[in-house]
Amino acid sequence: MKIYVCIKHVPDSAVQITLTAKNRIDESVTFLMNPYDEHAVEEAVSLKEQVADSEVIAVTLGKAAALSTLASALAMGADRGVFIKTDDPPDGVITAKLLAAAISQDGRPDIIFTGKESIDSVGMQTAFRIGAALDIPVATHVAALSLDWVLNRASDQNRVLVECEKSGGDRDVIEMQLPCVIGVGKNLNLPRYPTLPQIMKARKKEIKQIDPDSLGIEKPLVGMEVLKLHVAAYERKNRIIKGAPEQAVAQLIKCLHEEEKVF
């Protein structure tokens, strides 16, 4: 089984983000693998451990610094990497086309994992655009994935069963034909932490670097552009509620209901 996992190099959400231009951030801050993509890598590696003769290939796109995120995926257990190097990362439309083209050029995928979204742009489009580019089914916000029933039925080894989280705690159960794209949510698994030997071993794994121009994708008729970014500003208000417990609780409920519109 050939398993691809698309990962993204994003700013650490714990750091202070500052703007250097109207649509640019200070990129000297710490970057890491998109947290949802960590779960995607974990699921890909776990699947490899279940299915014999499987290979996990991590794919990313970005500036040279993104190689550190690719190295993290290799340390987690991916067998090799594919790096699409571009100094000016394209929009979401072209990004998905480049990822799909790089995967097609590299081999025939059985499953393509992605995170359900990225924490920087939160576009939630990559999985669907890759699926559209390759004309294969897509499921996202996946919280459960089962191959046990598939592996026990030889005639159905080209199908997978997933559960997708919805609002209100509901889930959709979806059976998909392989190849397919699976957008992973955080409830699917617990990502492993690489050991020092795994980190050292990852340095010897193959990373194939690709020039975007070599993929020969057609320029889409539509595109996206970030015109302006704003630093999120939060205003805190402090209020001390005095009185007996019963009175204080009543005041708190009134405040939450009438002023903060919580309920």
- State residue 121's pLDDT score: 75
User: Which residues, at least 6 apart from 234, have a Cβ–Cβ distance to it below 8 Å?
Assistant: none
User: Per-residue pLDDT averaged across 229-253, rounded?
Assistant: 82
Mean pLDDT computed over every residue of the chain: 87
Q: Which amino acid is at 211?
A: D
Q: Are 84 and 102 in contact (CB under 8 A)?
A: yes
Q: Into how many domains does the chain fold?
A: 1
Range with the lowest mean pLDDT among 17-26, 47-56, 188-197?
17-26
Q: Read out DSSP for the chain? A: -EEEEE--EEE-TTSPP-EEETTEE-TTS-EEE-HHHHHHHHHHHHHHHHSTT-EEEEEEEESGGGHHHHHHHHHHT-SEEEEEE-SS---HHHHHHHHHHHHHHH---SEEEEES--TTT----HHHHHHHHHT--EEEEEEEEE-HHHHT-GGGTTEEEEEEE-GGG-EEEEEEESSEEEEEPTTS--PPPPPHHHHHHHTTS-EEEE-GGGG-PPPPS---------------------S-HHHHHHHHHHHHHHTS---
207 domain-assigned: yes
First to last CA, the chain: 49
Q: Residue 235 pLDDT more than 80?
A: no
Residue 243 — left, alpha, or beta (φ > 0 → left; ψ -120 to 50 → alpha)?
Answer: left
Residue 79 — left, alpha, or beta (φ > 0 → left; ψ -120 to 50 → alpha)?
Answer: alpha
| % of the chain residues with pLDDT over 70 | 94
User: Per-residue pLDDT averaged across 41-62, rounded?
Assistant: 94
Query: Alpha-carbon torsion 62, 63, 69, 73, what sign?
Result: positive
- The structure tokens listed for 29 are 């801050």
58 domain-assigned: yes
- State residue 148's pLDDT score: 59
User: Per-residue pLDDT averaged across 228-245, rounded?
Assistant: 79
Strand order in the sheet with 207-210: 171-177, 159-165, 138-146, 180-184, 111-115, 2-6, 55-62, 80-85, 207-210
Which range, 11-25, 144-158, 235-249, is most confident?
Answer: 235-249
Q: Residue 150 pLDDT more than 70?
A: no
Look up the CATH number of the domain holding residue 34. 3.40.50.620
Q: Residue 244 pLDDT more than 60?
A: yes
42 domain-assigned: yes
13 domain-assigned: yes
The CA-based diameter of the chain, rounded to the nearest angstrom, is 72
- State residue 224's pLDDT score: 78
- The pLDDT-based confidence of 157 (bands split at 50, 70, 90) is low
103 domain-assigned: yes
Q: Nearest Cα to 130, choosing from 39, 33, 16, 40?
A: 40
137 domain-assigned: yes
- State residue 231's pLDDT score: 74
User: Per-residue pLDDT averaged across 89-108, rounded?
Assistant: 90
Q: Residue 48 pLDDT more than 90?
A: yes
- State residue 152's pLDDT score: 53
Q: Nearest Cα to 199, choosing from 53, 72, 12?
A: 72
**Structural domain harbouring 54:** 2-215
User: Per-residue pLDDT averaged across 51-60, rounded?
Assistant: 94
User: Per-residue pLDDT averaged across 235-245, rounded?
Assistant: 82
The pTM (predicted TM-score) of the whole model is 0.82
232 domain-assigned: no
254 domain-assigned: no
The CA angle 112-47-197, to the nearest 5 degrees, is 105
Q: Residue 172 pLDDT more than 70?
A: yes
Distances (CA, A) of 217 to 19, 101, 125, 130, 176: 32, 7, 18, 13, 27
Looking at per-residue pLDDT, the higher value among 114 and 146 belongs to 114
